[in-house]
Structure 1
Amino acid sequence: MDDRTHRSTDAGVLVAGQLFFDAVFADLPQAPVPGQEVWTPHFGWTPGGIANFAIAAARLGASTDVCAAVGDDDLSGLCRAALVREGIGTALLREVAGWALPVSACIDHDGDRAIVTGGTPTPLALPDLLPPTGGRVAALHVDASTAEWVRGSADRGLRVFADVGWDPTGAWDPALLDAIDGAYAFTPNAHEALAYTRTDDPVRAARLLAERVPLAVVTLGADGVVAVDSSTGEQVVVPPVRVRAVDSTGAGDVFCAALAVGTLAELPLRERIDLAALVAAITVSRPGGAAGAPRRAELAPWLAANPAAADPDRYGFVTTSLPSVLAGPAIRTP
């Protein structure tokens, strides 16, 4: 057993789960059909899966470690090198001989996307990779196998941002949410939130989910975001940042990463949600998935150059309080 699986992390953000190599084809003029070739100038590649979260968090200045399996193939090497260039800690990566990183072709057309993935999932169970201690916030896809680690996270001073993902069975059994017990935040999209709570109202869904975790955030796409903090009773409903979406690959992960960094910086709830909405909106307006995520220094200039995207009063904190709060020991200065 590689002793890296037992190491702690001193990073502000720990991101754990499945890595992919993403080839992103964005803003296609039409959907591809058999026998036809479709060109787009909006193309990029990036480490995908949990790397979307890690890259977005690191670009906002958070010290970030990634915990995952990688293969001994060339694409694993490319992804590892890309993470290092982003300043992301890779000591918790575990190389698996004879296994290749899965490759996803992400095809974005008419405001939605399709993904074709080749390869096999990681052969290592996530609980065998997770460090027993360290970190201040963590993000991972949770299930029954990670339940014990998540349940004890608060006692270790760790705030877990949990994702249970899409239910391919269509049952949306609320018992699956037992996996988030002990987590700090749960951030489903509207479809997931409504299905798990058996409601038709996103605000009601967020309130019900907040009975299980301190922070429930439901993303509504073009309709904005709903957040409920059960520890304070605060509820926030915010409009979207209006952009032309070019590529939605990794948008949910990028949103959650910015939310986690805002939490790490102890921003007020409204500013955390606004920060996450801004970072996600900028990202989807660019091709390449997380490769298009903005750096902290880009936020204010982007707002100045796009005055119609969001109310300037809403984002005054980006040039006032944000630079000062994102300067603690768990934040790296870009």
Structure 2
Amino acid sequence: MPPSVPAPTGPAAPTGAETGVETDVVFGGTVFCDLVMSGTPLPGPGEEVFADGFALVPGGTANRAVATARLGMRTGISAVLGDDVLGEHVRTVLDREPGLDLRWLQRAPGRQTPVTVAVTNEHDRGFITYEEDGTGVPQQWPGALPSARAAHVGIARPLPGWVGRLRAAGTTVFGGVGWDGTGTWSPQVLRHAEEVDVFVLNDLEALNYTRTGSVEEAARVLTRHVRTVVITQGRDGVTALDAGAEGAASLVRVPAVPVRAVDPTGAGDVFTAGLMTGTVLGWDLRTRVAFAGLAATSSVRSLGGSLSAPRPGELLEFLAETAPEGDWSTVRDWLQGTATLQPT
């Protein structure tokens, strides 16, 4: 974090760090090189369609890492890229982001960097992905673990051992999943959720994994495995449930901020980054969810997941333009203070 940006006011950093490196948030996951085509549907068999926008940007875990760094969090990222030209491009772009620590970003000799082609329009998006073994989520953290207030990891597969070490040191661990192309929606994923503190997923994922018929029912099933569940619902907003202590559950519903979408790619990642930022800052669940939704909605107005991640000044302007209902005083005060001090 640049020295002029105020430090987070939430809980103190964990004391069980294995090195002197201190961060606010860390991410371990797959970093893609995203080729984004906007303003067009996917072509049918034998068809050719023309996009009205194009971007070549870091994606996947990089979306979340860039988003938290732009919000002023000291951010670390651990991932394995290929040693190809796309991996070099991704590294170069990420290196331009102030507050983003790349010391744990590795390169795998002879491997292709994971690639996703995203075809998007204002209503929907589709993806084609290529990924090789030897890239993606690091099973071993390279070197000593940093201290971190919050961390994020995918839980579709067994979690790397370093996640448990971070959690034992006091880090709040967030878990996420992606679309299950096999259609099995394995219950094993829910057992993996027991190894994290906050589970963030979309409504389709929640309904499929729990075999339930409503988002609220799905949230209640999921809190049998993890204390806090946050389910995004696109234009229908967000539902969050904190099981609390001794059964004192807290259910929160926050509507979406209406906006015309240009590219929804990475909006869920920006949402997660906002949620983690609010957690580091010590905000209550409703404020965290509302702030995360504001950041995600702001990001869909331009092209590319990591490119469109907003900074505090942009969010302050967006909040003034949209004037969403509810009490935004905590968010507004923080945005004003951070936007004034944070370099662009």
Normalising by structure 2, we get a TM-score of 0.85
The question of 1:60 aligning with 2:50 is answered no
Q: 1:118 to 1:168 in 2, by over 3 A?
A: closer
Count of aligned residue pairs for this structure pair: 321
CA distance in 1, matches of 2:342, 2:221: 36
Secondary structure of 1:292's partner? coil
Aligned-pair CA distance for 1:183: 0.9
Alignment-derived partner of residue 111 in structure 1: 123
Aligned-pair CA distance for 1:208: 2.2
Alignment-derived partner of residue 295 in structure 2: 279
**Contact (CA 8 Å) 2:123, 2:261: kept in 1 or not?**
yes
The question of 1:186 aligning with 2:169 is answered no
Q: 1:215 to 1:288 in 2, by over 3 A?
A: same
Q: CA RMSD in A?
A: 2.5
Secondary structure of 2:239's partner? strand
The question of 1:256 aligning with 2:272 is answered yes
Higher helix share: 1
CA distance in 1, matches of 2:45, 2:180: 29
Aligned-pair CA distance for 1:235: 1.5
Identity of aligned residues (%): 36
Q: 1:170 to 1:117 in 2, by over 3 A?
A: closer
CA distance in 1, matches of 2:137, 2:90: 20
- Deviation readout 1:162-220 (Å, 9 max, x if unpaired): 01333333232323211122311001111111122222121121122123222110111
Q: Which runs of 4+ in 1 moved over 6 A?
A: none
One-letter identity of the residue aligned with 1:184: D
The question of 1:210 aligning with 2:226 is answered no
- Deviation readout 1:279-333 (Å, 9 max, x if unpaired): 11111121122211111111111222334xx22x443333224555x69xxx977
Alignment-derived partner of residue 11 in structure 1: 23
Aligned-pair CA distance for 1:7: 6.5
CA distance in 2, matches of 1:9, 1:177: 32
Aligned-pair CA distance for 1:143: 4.5
One-letter identity of the residue aligned with 1:69: V
Structure 1 portions without partners, runs of 5+: 1-5
Aligned-pair CA distance for 1:226: 0.5
**Contact (CA 8 Å) 1:26, 1:288: kept in 2 or not?**
no
Aligned-pair CA distance for 1:21: 0.7
The question of 1:42 aligning with 2:53 is answered yes
Normalising by structure 1, we get a TM-score of 0.87
**Contact (CA 8 Å) 2:120, 2:263: kept in 1 or not?**
yes
**Contact (CA 8 Å) 2:313, 2:335: kept in 1 or not?**
no
Aligned-pair CA distance for 1:151: 4.0
